[in-house]
Amino acid sequence: MNDLIGREIIIDDTTLRDGEQSAGVVFSREEKLKIALMLDSIGVREIECGIPAMGKDEQASIRSLVDLGLNARLIPGTAAVIEDIRASIECGVTAVDISLSVSDIMIENKLHKSREWVKEQLKSALGFAKEKGLYVSVGGEDSSRADIYFIIELMEIAREMGGDRFRFCDTLGILDPFAIYDKVSALRRVVPEVDIEVHTHNDLGMATANAIAGIRAGARFVNTTVNGLGERAGNAPLEEVVMGLKHACGIDLGIDTHRFVELSRFVAKASQRPLPEWKPVVGKRVFSHESGLHADGVIKNPSNYEGFDPSEVGLQRRLVVGKHSGTSGLIERYREMGITVSRGEALSLMDQVRTTAQQTKRSLNDADLLRLYRSVGLKNAA
Ligand SMILES: [Zn+2]
């Protein structure tokens, strides 16, 4: 992983733009402010904050985000249209992402235009934005399906006109990590002067892997959203990218991860998209242990079956007694309830534990465990 050591990698979280763009998701202004404040306070350095072209309400929201005076840079999304960029400037931001469709499929079938037209759009929008002193990300919508030589042409225009970075968008979530690695590596090699950002989607379940592959290939910026909220199957989740970089790649971005669960639950509620309990990193039950061998291993030393400590993201370890439990887990659960059970006693309870789990199709709660304890005539139930 030496290719990553010492490199600066910057999260651009787009929960407030691509996240809110999920079908049916709407944040109130208060929710937007709270999400931005939390992202800022945990150390996220850039926040994509909406689309000024959507009108007065959105512009007022962006203005109130600017008024927070965050450390994070605020960057709205705009089309390559001077009026939209002007609307962004009026909101008080100092950066914009200028989005252009770059694949022939979209240029021909969506825009009914040509590559030449796209280049002209870029030149006029980028020229205007740089003249106004903005930091500019050039967003390549559908970069995955674009001719890479055309992307290079656009990046060369960006370089010549002072564009600050190119956003490589896997808009449809169709690449695999090897493909995105190859494409980003090639672009880095040919146009090293322009930073690259990767924007990945989860349609094939590869958003996190693709984001990390893009970073490993040389991207300095990465787009994320809290809980992976975003168009269709969503974006690369902030919490997964940060923890993946930290624990799979050995790169600590300096983000305060302890508040991930708090942030995740707030966004889940505000977006009305409840999280699956098994959601990686922040799901309620991703540190629950039931099966005999795993529970026993975790009791001996949590690192036996946990890749990182749950407290690192604000979760807690839970031992669960159920169909697959063994005696160690059962003894430990009783101990947590203040009841001492010997190994022999635990063995004598195991049949009933399994029967109860099978009948109820769930793990056993404290009341079940107390009832079982008493039913076999053991005393001292606390
Ligand atoms: Zn997107």
The predicted-structure confidence for 87-137, as pLDDT tens digits, reads as follows: 999 999 999 999 999 999 999 999 999 999 999 999 999 999 999 999 999
CA of 351 to the centre of ligand 1 (A): 51
CA of 110 to the centre of ligand 1 (A): 17
Place of tokens 């940060």: 242
CA of 156 to the centre of ligand 1 (A): 23
Task: For the chain, give the percent of residues with pLDDT over 70.
Answer: 97
CA of 200 to the centre of ligand 1 (A): 7
Instruction: State the average pLDDT over residues 329-349.
Output: 95
CA of 82 to the centre of ligand 1 (A): 22
CA of 303 to the centre of ligand 1 (A): 36
CA of 223 to the centre of ligand 1 (A): 9
Instruction: State the average pLDDT over residues 83-87.
Output: 97
CA of 209 to the centre of ligand 1 (A): 16
CA of 169 to the centre of ligand 1 (A): 7
**Above 70 in pLDDT, residue 377?**
no
CA of 325 to the centre of ligand 1 (A): 43
Burial class of residue 223 in the structure, from the number of CB atoms within 10 Å of its CB (0-12 exposed, 13-18 middle, 19+ buried): buried
The secondary structure of 110-157 as a DSSP string is: TS---HHHHHHHHHHHHHHHHHTT-EEEEEEETGGGS-HHHHHHHHHH
Place of tokens 């927070």: 68
pLDDT band for 226, please (50, 70, 90 cuts).
Answer: very high
pLDDT at residue 2 in the model: 52
As a whole number, the mean pLDDT across the chain is 95
pLDDT band for 7, please (50, 70, 90 cuts).
Answer: confident
Do the beta carbons of residue 339 and residue 312 sit within 8 Å? no
Instruction: State the average pLDDT over residues 285-294.
Output: 94
Report pLDDT digits (tens) over 131-171. Answer: 999 999 999 999 999 999 999 999 999 999 999 999 999 99
CA of 55 to the centre of ligand 1 (A): 20
CA of 199 to the centre of ligand 1 (A): 6
Instruction: State the average pLDDT over residues 206-220.
Output: 98
**Above 60 in pLDDT, residue 39?**
yes
CA of 182 to the centre of ligand 1 (A): 20
Instruction: State the average pLDDT over residues 256-277.
Output: 97
CA of 286 to the centre of ligand 1 (A): 27
pLDDT band for 340, please (50, 70, 90 cuts).
Answer: very high
Do the beta carbons of residue 113 and residue 74 sit within 8 Å? no
pLDDT at residue 378 in the model: 58
- CA dihedral (323, 324, 328, 329) positive or negative: negative
Separation of first and last alpha carbons in the chain? 52
Q: What is the pTM of this model?
A: 0.95
pLDDT at residue 381 in the model: 44
Instruction: State the average pLDDT over residues 348-358.
Output: 95
pLDDT at residue 376 in the model: 78
pLDDT at residue 3 in the model: 66
CA of 248 to the centre of ligand 1 (A): 25
CA of 239 to the centre of ligand 1 (A): 17
Report pLDDT digits (tens) over 268-287. Answer: 999 999 999 999 999 999 99
What distance in Å separates the CA atoms of residue 91 and residue 86, rounded to the nearest whole number?
9
User: Which pair of tokens denotes residue 335?
Assistant: 């101990």
